[in-house]
Chains A and B, each alone.
Chain A
């Protein structure tokens, strides 16, 4: 091959490398971008007066008097709507029965949409579900609901050979010429007076429990549950994992077929699908060993520990193997025993590698859903105190993300909570990782310096 073509090859390889890095970066951006933007929207958003009222009434936070004043101001603008509706209701009394029936149905639907937006009407009985006690707490949702007030979604089925086409029919058309007609332009023009949106940093999203199945409030129980499970799994897995690794590297005879078998088993264990671990955890820890009466943080941690054990063992093994032989020889030649050598020389030198393994497995444990479905996670539950972790199940981020997006009865209304949870989980894992990376760098630096 001549020089020119070799250079050609070299250059094209460089280009390929840069390209693939760009593609990777792009993919990461496409993935993380929406997660961050939508996730942040869960706690940085334009909150309406309904939000502040909810906080004051249910969580007892915020300036009650100020909220009351603000509500009174909003009420001034709402009264006009309520008055228009009652005036129209009164005028319906004089209409024919057929007319009353037809328009009554339309009116009821309009009122229901308005209740979604503004909360119960004055004079309504107090609704029992919290989601019906308040209007829209978020401005972005309020705009959606406003459109539902102003337009009725209908489908045009005129073409029998195809699916219907969505048409937005202005409700103003239905009520044209009646006393209700001015309601729609009024609502459109005065929505911000009625709901008084204000940019809010809702940090309580991370520190409060949710009310009414995640309609209101935060995700603290989920965050705490994820923490418990992750830390618990690490606490169980790391001592066992590191000790096994030491044994496999330093003590076990590599020629012994039993040791080879154990190695194979560990590798196999690393490849077992996580749902199998979940079922194993249910069958073994809960139904067989009865570590707890029902699902619990303990059972979930144990299951996750079994899941990450092979990862920890493999990482620790590699790290210990990578310690230069001269270290060991020097220690032994100075008269240190095997155990002392391991404790004072090999383990500290292997620590950065072991930590890397722990970091990776921490991220894995925090994000796993399948192993905790049957052993630890519940879709609705409160904060679990440390003493209760032995017996109580907990909500956890990965499971509740799945639960909210697939099983919740009101998925569309609480999407932001789901995004917020995803963001928090990603952020948590990043935080765990960066802490450990920082730790590793520190230790490595000390080792070099010493």
Chain B
């Protein structure tokens, strides 16, 4: 008797929490667990995936799409482990990743959703507005350590890089460093947003981010005299450009939500979304 009395309030709380809240949730949305798409990977492609999700869920009610941004490398791993339907990546899968996926019984298929420039950004107060590829490489390899060497003020350059898990890091490594190593005392941050914020708050900093992450609070430098913009990426003039990918396991079955989602970037609406966010659509749709 006594123990029952004691347990009453406890049980009440558990009941309220376990029953009341989820019923509210159930009321908000019908049970539609089957039509779910889970997306994992690059923080660069994240804004595209999130905007696609928003658009797709509104035009196809009942589909539940989730987006995690944990880095391109993680996206590839998730696809191989079968824990996501689409891996968004800002670099192509490496040979090793293809092999690992194949051995696990998966067959990654690439969909190029957009083109992107890796914009090199500095604080807008920085008078430098242009770098050559060699200068950029020298900054990241540690040969140039002060803005004065580039004609700027006498301040040590705060070099912001990305973690090795990042696809943007891999692309930068390949396109700019050419296999050379980034200097060991550079700072590594976990996402494009973090890199931009670091530059926003540090006058002497330099970092690289996807084109969609450049806003008015930072200044994108011209590289070899070419400014980073959708036009120069599309024309092929900007030297640090790369495609952005979605990987699926096999080509998605026609007519499924996964198929429609993974080919959304080929539709006019999809390309309009890509362009509105600040990336470069794969075709000229207008």
Q: Which residues of A contact B (CB under 8 A)?
A: 127-130, 132, 153, 155, 157, 160-166, 211-213, 224, 227-228, 231, 235, 286-287, 293-295, 343-344, 347-348, 351, 373-374, 377-388, 391-393, 403, 406-412, 435, 439, 442-443, 446, 450
How many Å lie between the Cα of A379 and that of B78 in the bound state? 16
- The answer to whether A378 touches B67 (Cβ under 8 A) is yes
The chain A residue sitting closest to B10, CB to CB, is A439
Contacts of A212 in B (CB 8 A): 51, 54
Contacts of A392 in B (CB 8 A): 33, 36, 64, 66
Binds A, one of B94-102, B188-196, B225-233: B188-196
How many Å lie between the Cα of A294 and that of B197 in the bound state? 31
Contacts of A379 in B (CB 8 A): 46, 50, 67-69
- The answer to whether A162 touches B54 (Cβ under 8 A) is no
Knowing A128-B55, A164-B126 touch, does A382 contact B64 (C-beta < 8 A)?
A: yes
Render B48-86 as a binary contact track against A, CB cut-off 8 A, 1 for contact.
011101110100000011111110000000100111100
The chain A residue sitting closest to B64, CB to CB, is A382
Asked if B272 lies at the interface with its beta carbon under 8 angstroms from chain A, I say: yes
The chain A residue sitting closest to B5, CB to CB, is A446
Contacts of A343 in B (CB 8 A): 3
Asked if B254 lies at the interface with its beta carbon under 8 angstroms from chain A, I say: no
The list of the 4 closest CB pairs from A to B, nearest first, reads A386-B22, A381-B66, A157-B127, A294-B83
Asked if B208 lies at the interface with its beta carbon under 8 angstroms from chain A, I say: no
Expressed in whole angstroms, the minimum distance between the Cβ of A408 and any Cβ of chain B is 6
- The answer to whether A446 touches B6 (Cβ under 8 A) is yes
- The answer to whether A348 touches B66 (Cβ under 8 A) is no
How many Å lie between the Cα of A287 and that of B77 in the bound state? 11
In the assembled complex, 21 residue pairs joining A and B whose CB atoms fall closer than 8 Å, in A order, are A128-B276, A155-B127, A163-B204, A164-B127, A287-B81, A287-B83, A378-B38, A378-B67, A379-B46, A379-B67, A380-B53, A381-B64, A383-B29, A385-B31, A391-B33, A391-B36, A392-B36, A392-B66, A393-B38, A439-B13, A442-B9
Knowing A155-B125, A403-B69 touch, does A385 contact B153 (C-beta < 8 A)?
A: no
How many Å lie between the Cα of A159 and that of B23 in the bound state? 64
Binds A, one of B107-115, B177-185, B209-217, B240-248: B209-217
Knowing A161-B154, A212-B51, A392-B64 touch, does A383 contact B25 (C-beta < 8 A)?
A: yes
How many Å lie between the Cα of A432 and that of B196 in the bound state? 36
Asked if B252 lies at the interface with its beta carbon under 8 angstroms from chain A, I say: no
Contacts of B26 in A (CB 8 A): 385-387
- The answer to whether B69 touches A407 (Cβ under 8 A) is yes
- The answer to whether B54 touches A130 (Cβ under 8 A) is yes
Contacts of A213 in B (CB 8 A): 47, 50-51, 54
- The answer to whether B68 touches A166 (Cβ under 8 A) is no
How many Å lie between the Cα of A163 and that of B273 in the bound state? 37
Central interface residue in A406, A411, A450, by most chain B CB within 10 Å: A406
Contacts of A153 in B (CB 8 A): 124, 216
- The answer to whether A443 touches B54 (Cβ under 8 A) is no
By size class, the interface of chain B is 35 or more
Expressed in whole angstroms, the minimum distance between the Cβ of B12 and any Cβ of chain A is 9
- The answer to whether B33 touches A387 (Cβ under 8 A) is yes
Central interface residue in A407, A411, A446, by most chain B CB within 10 Å: A407
- Contact with B277, one of A166, A378, A409, A446 (Cβ below 8 angstroms): A409
How many Å lie between the Cα of A212 and that of B6 in the bound state? 47
- The answer to whether B67 touches A293 (Cβ under 8 A) is no
How many Å lie between the Cα of A387 and that of B10 in the bound state? 23
Expressed in whole angstroms, the minimum distance between the Cβ of A379 and any Cβ of chain B is 5
Knowing A344-B2, A382-B64 touch, does A406 contact B197 (C-beta < 8 A)?
A: yes
Contacts of B273 in A (CB 8 A): 128-129
- The answer to whether B6 touches A164 (Cβ under 8 A) is no
Expressed in whole angstroms, the minimum distance between the Cβ of A288 and any Cβ of chain B is 10
- The answer to whether A381 touches B67 (Cβ under 8 A) is yes
Contacts of B21 in A (CB 8 A): 224, 227
How many Å lie between the Cα of A313 and that of B196 in the bound state? 44
- The answer to whether B127 touches A381 (Cβ under 8 A) is no
How many Å lie between the Cα of A124 and that of B39 in the bound state? 33
Expressed in whole angstroms, the minimum distance between the Cβ of A448 and any Cβ of chain B is 13
Knowing A164-B127, A295-B68, A387-B31 touch, does A412 contact B217 (C-beta < 8 A)?
A: yes
- Contact with B123, one of A163, A224, A373, A384 (Cβ below 8 angstroms): A163
Asked if B259 lies at the interface with its beta carbon under 8 angstroms from chain A, I say: no
The chain B residue sitting closest to A290, CB to CB, is B82
- The answer to whether B54 touches A386 (Cβ under 8 A) is no
The chain B residue sitting closest to A292, CB to CB, is B83
The chain B residue sitting closest to A231, CB to CB, is B17
Contacts of B194 in A (CB 8 A): 406-407
- The answer to whether A293 touches B83 (Cβ under 8 A) is yes
Asked if B269 lies at the interface with its beta carbon under 8 angstroms from chain A, I say: yes
Asked if B168 lies at the interface with its beta carbon under 8 angstroms from chain A, I say: no
- The answer to whether B68 touches A286 (Cβ under 8 A) is no
- The answer to whether B203 touches A163 (Cβ under 8 A) is yes
Contacts of A160 in B (CB 8 A): 127, 151-153
Knowing A155-B124, A160-B127, A165-B125 touch, does A386 contact B25 (C-beta < 8 A)?
A: yes
Contacts of B10 in A (CB 8 A): 439
